[in-house]
Structure 1
Amino acid sequence: MREPIQFPLDQSALDVDLGGTRVRRTVHPSGLRVLTEYMPGVRSASVGFWVGVGSRDEQAENDAARGSLGSTHFLEHLLFKGTPTRDAYSIATSFDRVGAESNALTAKEYTCYHAKARDVDLEGAVEVLADMVTNSVLDAGEFENEREVILEELAMAADDLADVASERFFEEVLGDHPLGRPIGGNTETIRAARRDDVNEHYAHRYDPSTLVVTAAGAVDHDRLVELVLRALEGSADPRWSTEVSRTPVRRSTVPDDVPAASTTAQEAPEAVNAAPRVAVTEKPSEQVNVIVGTTGLRAGDPRRFAMGLMNSVLGGGMSSRLFQEIREKRGLAYTAYSFGASYSDAGLFGMYAGTAPQKAAEVVDLARTELAKIADDGITSEERERALGQIAGSSALALEDSDTRMGRLGRAELGTGELYDLDTSLERFHAVTDTDVREVAALLQRQPSTIVAVGEVSRSTLR
């Protein structure tokens, strides 16, 4: 069985032919990491500036070395609002005039500022992104404007009951763990955020040791390294100096106090909730959005391929058991699915449906029953082949896009330090046995179960 490509932090260069594309990686003495995947036959490229800092890295108190809650999301907005040489309008027009797509995302363990452009316009996109990341002025006036924008963003999310259920599920399952906090903060934390705290978060968390630049498509690796180093050297802020040696930063996915062979569904930190619970959020609605689930697998857990296969059969598409049992056979919901989320030291697994209040309890029972059936009896050979086909097809189609390949590089570098190409990944899925699937389902089933319900739950029998 083929092994994934390893990204050791002490290896300065890597060049791998994937049989159609070429992956290259450079680790600079400053701690900067640059990774590219050249895709022949395309006329565009996607580039991302990744910082290994997410919402989990904020402090509940205003620790000057970390910033207050919501600082990471604030930075995602503010870095588009100006540098000493570009104002917000200039940044916007730099992308618009060449038809480039630009955006950013804040996650629980990283932040990414990214763009996609024609090959001839890639250098310009890189220069603007680098300027944004290394030279943002975090203007006080723009800070107050973006406070209102973020509050509107949060208000919009609060009107989406599925989003509310998802956020509440993370909070209930992960408890006091930093991963349980909402990525974007909440109304209280955003109103309380101070520009000085966000600036300290930026100053103490953003430097070459946390920066990973990835690109995929029509990209020249050596030229990209040159462009990024030039941008860092041109920054007026000494923390971006490429003359200072730094050790690149990557989160550990193996806590020192946890045995590697642990059989719990996830080697949970103490802050993760360990008791079954029902969490209700009453909101006017014709539906109750319900999620039932528990702790899941950490990133890097070798059982994740069995989890992926099990999840595909259980709730991964229109032929999945949840969709068929809840929607097709009984008409209880428009959609029903299962999902998982994995992080460096924690994870979760859930099953979702939106249904009429009086049917919510039945939907929860059906979801639990289908998980139990897989734990007890496994999956059929036909389900296995269908799931393998779904995984192979969706993965191959996704990799036709340079955005997906750029993101795969960034998450691999900041996450486990391993890159699975399509064939290597599919080998792992094909190696999953029926016993593996039953065991991972049983693992989830015996964890304390959490039910989150959002809507007019008072009209239901959920308790």
Structure 2
Amino acid sequence: MLKKHICQNGVTVINEHVPAVRSVTIGIWIAAGSRYESTHNNGISHFLEHMLFKGTKTRTAQDIAEAFDAIGGQVNAFTSKEYTCFYAKVMDTYQTYAVDILADMFFNSVFDEAEVEREKNVVLEEIKMYEDTPDDIVHDLLAQASYGQHPLAYPILGTEAHVQSFTSDLLKTYMKERYTPENVVISVAGNVSDGFEDIIEAHFGHYSATSPIEEHNIERPQFLSEHIVKPKHTEQAHLCLGFNGLSVTDDDIYSLMVMNNVLGGSMSSRLFQDIREKQGLAYAVFSYHSSFLDHGLLTIYAGTGRNQLNILKEKINQTIDQFKRKAITDKELANSKEQLKGNLLLSLESTNSRMSRNGKNELLLKKHRTIDDMLRDIEAVNHQTVQTVIERVFTQNPSSALVTATE
């Protein structure tokens, strides 16, 4: 059962009690990501995520790590375009202990200048690792080709120059601006004890915003059909195509998910069968959809030898053209819907998945739907709704990004 509690300062707590398990996952979700950054501080959301693990007034970085290792728990965090999440998964007997430490990290991190300088090197190495992985960096380039100067095009990690500019004071200021009660959701899932909301309230329900929020980066993006080529020493050419997608609130989102499965979301998809199985042109070829608050991007990726790049593009375009002209089959429709339903139901076995779904829904949508509601929405997808989505997504020329060796 899902319960919602609003702390007296506006922090929202979402609690899903799952009595059949012995774990509890606690996630702190914050509306802080690269979308809310500027050309001056790009990457600061991700850097701040790192720094919350680097010591509090009473715990060192090693103390934090050992605290969870000692109870067989897991603690981690991630940053996206639109949110940051810190989470811990522990046995149910340690749920109070876990929230104590997460709260300590949230409120009492010291951002010691020596630690900041040390962590700069860590993040710079992360950026270098990313740059050395062309099948990763090509997706960032596609965001730039699709959104131009809009903050959705900013890399989550930032750039070397941005990272080098971060200071303890800058981190503290950004945290005051973004980590405000109205921007925070705490999502808990698992064998949660009665009254656990009161414990969260005691930790998170009494702080207040100390700086005004400057919402200067939330304008709706315009999709651009631009093209970016990055020369790099690489054995393969890595290609991404981007198409104008749907926002997370769009009524056609389930039809798009079904459509994407048929196009390139599985081993039985058309792209996988046409490009890999029939043509042998690529080892990796797939499509996926990224949904944001007010926009979306459908991405097709494939990697192949440079000498096969032109034929790869031709075959992808042929698959897309056929996909637009010829309706999906009854079998494709049924299989895709069953795949979505299966993924949804299997995720119920993970308290991590439940915590993530609830936290993201509350932070982005401010509403929750039951599993039965979502299953009904998937089942309601039909040939006509999928065709409507195809016509919406594939009407505009795509953006593209290519990472490949020069001649």
Normalised by the shorter chain, which TM-score bucket?
over 0.9
Q: Could you tell me which amino acid in structure 1 is paired with residue 10 of structure 2?
A: G
Q: Could you tell me which amino acid in structure 1 is paired with residue 369 of structure 2?
A: Y
**C-alpha contact (below 8 Å) 2:244/2:394 kept by paired residues:** no
2:405 matched to 1:432? no
**Higher helix proportion:** 2
**C-alpha contact (below 8 Å) 2:264/2:288 kept by paired residues:** yes
**C-alpha contact (below 8 Å) 2:42/2:154 kept by paired residues:** no
1:185-233 per-residue CA deviation (whole Å, 9 max, x = no partner) reads 121211222332222101222122222111111112522x222222236
Shift of residue 163, structure 1, vs aligned partner? 0.8
Tell me the equivalent position of 2:262: 313
Q: 1:302 aligns with which of 221, 241, 251?
A: 251
**C-alpha contact (below 8 Å) 1:165/1:291 kept by paired residues:** yes
**C-alpha contact (below 8 Å) 2:259/2:390 kept by paired residues:** yes
2:87 matched to 1:123? no
Shift of residue 58, structure 1, vs aligned partner? 1.4
Q: Could you tell me which amino acid in structure 2 is paired with residue 426 of structure 1?
A: L
Give the Cα separation in 1 of the matches to 2:223 and 2:187: 36
Tell me the equivalent position of 2:342: 393
Q: 1:166 aligns with which of 139, 142, 150?
A: 139
| Secondary structure of the corresponding residue to residue 365 of structure 2 | coil
| Secondary structure of the corresponding residue to residue 267 of structure 2 | coil
Give the Cα separation in 2 of the matches to 1:232 and 1:387: 42
Q: In percent, how many aligned pairs have the same letter?
A: 34
Give the aligned length. 403
1:271-311 per-residue CA deviation (whole Å, 9 max, x = no partner) reads 5343x333111111111111112221111001111111100
Tell me the equivalent position of 2:402: 453
Q: Could you tell me which amino acid in structure 2 is paired with residue 297 of structure 1?
A: L
Give the Cα separation in 1 of the matches to 2:110 and 2:256: 44
Q: Is the deviation greater in 321-330 or in 340-349?
A: 340-349
Shift of residue 448, structure 1, vs aligned partner? 2.5
Alignment of 1:188-207 (within 5 A): 188-207=161-180
Q: Could you tell me which amino acid in structure 2 is paired with residue 206 of structure 1?
A: Y
Give the Cα separation in 2 of the matches to 1:420 and 1:368: 37
Shift of residue 29, structure 1, vs aligned partner? 2.6
1:53-109 per-residue CA deviation (whole Å, 9 max, x = no partner) reads 212111224xxxxxx222111110111112212221211111110011000111111
Give the Cα separation in 2 of the matches to 1:240 and 1:443: 41
| Secondary structure of the corresponding residue to residue 208 of structure 2 | helix
Tell me the equivalent position of 1:272: 222
TM-aligned CA distance change 1:32 to 1:210, over 3 Å: same
Alignment of 1:118-157 (within 5 A): 118-157=91-130
Give the Cα separation in 2 of the matches to 1:424 and 1:455: 45
Q: Could you tell me which amino acid in structure 2 is paired with residue 50 of structure 1?
A: W
Q: Could you tell me which amino acid in structure 1 is paired with residue 23 of structure 2?
A: S
Give the Cα separation in 1 of the matches to 2:72 and 2:19: 21
Give the Cα separation in 2 of the matches to 1:91 and 1:132: 9
Tell me the equivalent position of 2:54: 81
The RMSD of aligned alpha carbons is 2.0
Tell me the equivalent position of 1:228: 200
Tell me the equivalent position of 1:410: 359
**C-alpha contact (below 8 Å) 1:377/1:438 kept by paired residues:** no
| Secondary structure of the corresponding residue to residue 415 of structure 1 | helix
Give the Cα separation in 1 of the matches to 2:348 and 2:135: 28
**C-alpha contact (below 8 Å) 1:372/1:441 kept by paired residues:** no
Q: Could you tell me which amino acid in structure 2 is paired with residue 81 of structure 1?
A: K
Alignment of 1:89-100 (within 5 A): 89-100=62-73
Tell me the equivalent position of 1:282: 231
Shift of residue 440, structure 1, vs aligned partner? 1.3
| Secondary structure of the corresponding residue to residue 24 of structure 1 | strand
| Secondary structure of the corresponding residue to residue 418 of structure 1 | coil
Tell me the equivalent position of 1:54: 33
Q: Is the deviation greater in 346-355 or in 324-333?
A: 346-355
**C-alpha contact (below 8 Å) 1:232/1:240 kept by paired residues:** no
Shift of residue 395, structure 1, vs aligned partner? 1.8
Normalised by the size of structure 2, how large is the TM-score? 0.94
Tell me the equivalent position of 1:104: 77
Tell me the equivalent position of 2:189: 216
Shift of residue 418, structure 1, vs aligned partner? 2.5
Give the Cα separation in 2 of the matches to 1:357 and 1:420: 46
Q: 2:272 aligns with which of 319, 323, 330?
A: 323
Q: Could you tell me which amino acid in structure 1 is paired with residue 151 of structure 2?
A: P
Tell me the equivalent position of 1:441: 390
Structure 2 residue runs of 5 or longer lacking an equivalent are none
Give the Cα separation in 1 of the matches to 2:372 and 2:277: 34
